Chains A and B, each alone.
Chain A
Amino acid sequence: GIQVEQSPPDLILQEGANSTLRCNFSDSVNNLQWFHQNPWGQLINLFYIPSGTKQNGRLSATTVATERYSLLYISSSQTTDSGVYFCAVGLLMIYNQGGKLIFGQGTELSVKP
């Protein structure tokens, strides 16, 4: 099956710093997403990005599908950015109707004031 590896596993930043999170995956995929899990356990979709580059405020993401990796950039980090960031990749499996997402183990980010 598809393997998903995220790095680094943990990251501590001072408020205002920038960071890059990486997601490597082992096969071609139909779907790639980045999620943020907040301290209350809620998983929030940040980007749906199977290829290309997207930006949303201080966050941006780039996926190079041919090289099987994706990057999540956080600029001018804030304490509210703390939490776990997950990359997930997906593949249609069942008669082009269904499939599943495979999640990486996550990067735990802590932003200090």
Chain B
Amino acid sequence: DVKVTQSSRYLVKRTGEKVFLECVQDMDHENMFWYRQDPGLGLRLIYFSYDVKMKEKGDIPEGYSVSREKKERFSLILESASTNQTSMYLCASLTGGFNQPQHFGDGTRLSIL
């Protein structure tokens, strides 16, 4: 079974802090994704990566950056956290051919105070 692991289930940080959210997958998937989910807005794609050191902006990349130094790990970085980044963050992975299911981690509920 595919396992996507997010480093924290709940996280509380302060405004202005640099925040790292980590995601690791164990199935050698080429594609990895970061989403945020807010009530009434559904899932919105922040960034995705289709290979090591490759990244593409999603629909709402402002205020975020990502890092993919190893195939199994995809990190989301909030450069200077703000209260409007309080949200549920979900990581996912998918094989390169796009012909299999996408699998999600359990999510990180991030609160910025």
Contact = CB atoms under 8 A, between A and B. Distances in A.
Nearest to B54: A98
Interface string B36-80: 010000110100111100101010000000000000000000000
Contacts of A63: none
Contacts of A98: 30-31, 48-51, 54, 56, 96
A42 to B, nearest CB: 5
Most chain B beta carbons < 10 A, residue from A35, A41, A103: A41
B100 interface: yes
Contacts, number: 72
Q: Number of contact residues on A: which range applies?
A: 20 to 34
Interface of A: 30-31, 33, 35, 41-45, 48, 50, 86, 88, 90-92, 94, 96-101, 103-106
B90 A43 contact: yes
| Chain A interface main SS type | strand
A97 B77 CA distance: 24
B107 A42 contact: yes
Nearest to A106: B42
Contacts of A90: 94, 98, 102
Contact of B107 (A33, A41, A45, A48): A41
A94 B49 CA distance: 10
Contacts of A43: 90, 92, 104, 107
A99 B98 contact: yes
A86 B102 CA distance: 13
A103 B43 contact: yes
Most chain A beta carbons < 10 A, residue from B49, B50, B58, B96: B50
